[in-house]
Amino acid sequence: MMCNSRYRLLRIVAKYSTDASNTEFRVLDLRKGSGESAMQGRGRFQKRTEGGPQLLPPRETRMPIDQDWPSVWPGPRTFHPASVPLPVRQGYPAKDLAAPPGKYANAELMKIPNFLHLTPAAVQRHCQAIKRFCTPWPSKLTNEDACDKYFPVQTTTCDYLHSSPSIRDPLARIVTLQVKLSSLPLEGRTRDKFLRLVQERYNPETDMVTIVVDRCPTRKQNLDYSHFLLTVLYHESMKEESWEREKSPLDNELFEWQTSASRAAIDSLAVKQKLDPDYIQHYSEALTNLMNKGEDQETLADYKERALRLLGHSRN
């Protein structure tokens, strides 16, 4: 009832506004389907016509291809579909065979971070801006090997940013020190000792020793400690203790022919029967291979062949 009377008043205003005599002041009429056309044959409940307020076409349709993109998207921003001239689709469709949802009103696209502000052109501009503060790249460091040679020790630290009352993060104190074992002058006994001290921190595939230090509260202290550790490891490896000489053949990681019981057996056999020293040599190689590489068809077949030759057996 109330709306009826209000409606009547507005109708009068509208009618008044469309009078030809009042062209100086156009009254804004935002009602959908207002005006004479809408009132034709309609009852109490007005049906809304399709369309709504007339909007301008999205900006992306009017973007030139050669525009300056870093100016359009200068900084990190939530995805805005009308400003991005790409037909991006994201997400799973409701029906199996439909295309993924488009970019308009796509919450998933808006949630994820985008790097539209870091296109190559933009990055190049950043670099150009920073370049005047940089020194030139050292001329001798032309490849990875040169870098490893002159800078064998790599230190890795991580910085954390917080938008909270405190900017501190306890994880920022962690320091990782990485060095290639081949850059240290260790061999044989010293290398073995170093590896025993370092244990699982050594990766044989990449030949890298990785030491992670986090026991001190500040980064600088951890850094100093990691340098100290490296120094101590090296010097301790170089030292030889008296008890190290107590290592027996049973403790050996790899089979050594010279100190093995097999060699003693061959030597005692050679006393009684004639054994060709060449064949003994070949046999020892096959045996060492069998023991160190592990037993399989190949190593066993090799061992068999050489044992046959050594013991003087052959098939007719």
Partner 1 sequence: MIGKSVFRALNGKQEVVKRCSKIVIRASSTVPQMSLPSSSENSNPLPFFRSIQNSPSLHASNNSGQFYTIDPSIKKQLFLYGGIPKTFDELCNTFKETCMMIREPALEIMDYMKSTNFNNAATRYCLYGKIGTGKSMTMAHVLHYGFENSFVIVHVPWAPYWYKFPKEYSDCPTKEGMVDLPLDAVAWLIHFKNQNSHLLADPNLSVCQDWEWSKREITKKGAPLAEIVEMGINRVKYSTNCIEALLQELKQLSDLKRCKTIVVIDGFNIFFSDKTKIKTAAFEKIPPKRVTITSPFVDITKQDWSNGAVIVSVDDLAFFRKDQRNTHYPRGLLGPEGFEHLDPFIPIETKNYSEKEFHYCIEYFLERRWIINPHAASEEGRKELAFISNRNPFNLLKVTAPL
Contact with partner 1 (CB under 8 A) among 100, 105, 291, 292: 291
Q: Does 296 bind partner 1 (CB under 8 A)?
A: yes
Q: How far apart, in whole angstroms, are the C-alpha atoms of residue 59 and residue 84? A: 8
Q: How far apart, in whole angstroms, are the C-alpha atoms of residue 186 and residue 10? A: 96
Contact with partner 1 (CB under 8 A) among 34, 176, 262, 289: 262
Tokens for 120? Answer: 């190559």
| Interacting span for partner 1 (CB under 8 A) from 18-26, 56-64, 220-228, 262-270 | 262-270
Beta strand pairing status for 208-213 and 153-157? unpaired
* Binding-residue total with partner 1 (CB under 8 A): 27
Token look-up 């799973």 returns 92
Q: Does 242 bind partner 1 (CB under 8 A)?
A: no
**Burial group, residue 230, by CB count within 10 angstroms (0-12, 13-18, 19+):** middle
Helix axes 277-293, 261-272, angle to 10 degrees: 160
Q: Which is nearer to partner 1, 54 or 273 (CB)?
A: 273
> DSSP string spanning 34-62?
-SHHHHTT--SSPPPPS--SPPPPPGGGG
Q: How far apart, in whole angstroms, are the C-alpha atoms of residue 16 and residue 22? A: 8
315: region left, alpha or beta (phi > 0 left; psi from -120 to 50 alpha): beta
| Interacting span for partner 1 (CB under 8 A) from 41-49, 65-73, 165-173, 304-312 | 304-312
Taking the complex as a whole, the smallest distance from the CB of residue 278 to partner 1 amounts, in Å, to: 15
Q: Which is nearer to partner 1, 132 or 313 (CB)?
A: 313
Contact with partner 1 (CB under 8 A) among 132, 241, 273, 277: 273
Q: Does 276 bind partner 1 (CB under 8 A)?
A: no
Q: Does 295 bind partner 1 (CB under 8 A)?
A: yes
Q: Does 266 bind partner 1 (CB under 8 A)?
A: yes
Taking the complex as a whole, the smallest distance from the CB of residue 250 to partner 1 amounts, in Å, to: 8
Q: Does 14 bind partner 1 (CB under 8 A)?
A: no
Q: Does 253 bind partner 1 (CB under 8 A)?
A: no
Edge-first strand listing for the sheet containing 208-213: 153-157, 175-180, 208-213, 202-203
Q: Does 258 bind partner 1 (CB under 8 A)?
A: no
Nearest to 240 by CA among 194, 180, 183: 194
Q: Does 288 bind partner 1 (CB under 8 A)?
A: no
Nearest to 218 by CA among 277, 163, 175: 175
Q: Which is nearer to partner 1, 184 or 291 (CB)?
A: 291
Q: Does 261 bind partner 1 (CB under 8 A)?
A: yes
| Interacting span for partner 1 (CB under 8 A) from 121-129, 143-151, 154-162, 284-292 | 284-292
Sequence-distant contacts of 261-270: CB under 8 A, at least 24 apart: 262/287, 266/310
Q: Which is nearer to partner 1, 79 or 283 (CB)?
A: 283
Taking the complex as a whole, the smallest distance from the CB of residue 254 to partner 1 amounts, in Å, to: 13
Q: How far apart, in whole angstroms, are the C-alpha atoms of residue 148 and residue 181? A: 11
Q: Does 269 bind partner 1 (CB under 8 A)?
A: yes
Q: Which is nearer to partner 1, 238 or 264 (CB)?
A: 264
Q: Which is nearer to partner 1, 37 or 314 (CB)?
A: 314
Q: How far apart, in whole angstroms, are the C-alpha atoms of residue 77 and residue 30? A: 32
Binding site for partner 1 (CB under 8 A): 260-262, 265-266, 268-269, 272-273, 283, 287, 290-291, 295-296, 300, 303-304, 307-308, 310-316
